[in-house]
Amino acid sequence: MGKFNPKVEEYLNDLTKWQVETELLRSIILETGLSEEFKWNKPCYALDGKNVVIIQGFKAHCALLFF
């Protein structure tokens, strides 16, 4: 399992919408061994320093966006 990034922890604590969904997606992604970063004010996950996926909340949905 990947390491938690303290900036992502802070981000999650401040979320008012999609918090449960974002935490669930995060836990699934971290099981893959990707490293957790905080880029563009969002949780971002990378492999060998290259971005793979980012979690983004919108008005009506929460999404995984792949690079």
Nearest to 26 by CA among 46, 39, 7, 44: 44
Model pLDDT, residue 2:
64
Parallel/antiparallel/unpaired status of strands 50-57 and 42-47: antiparallel
Supply the pTM of this predicted model.
0.90
Read off the tokens for 13: 């604590």
Model pLDDT, residue 59:
94
CATH code for 6-66? 3.90.1150.200
With a CB cutoff of 8 Å and minimum separation 6, the contacts of 46 are 34, 35, 37, 52
Model pLDDT, residue 1:
60
Kindly give the parts of the chain with pLDDT less than 50.
none
Q: Are 38 and 8 in contact (CB under 8 A)?
A: yes
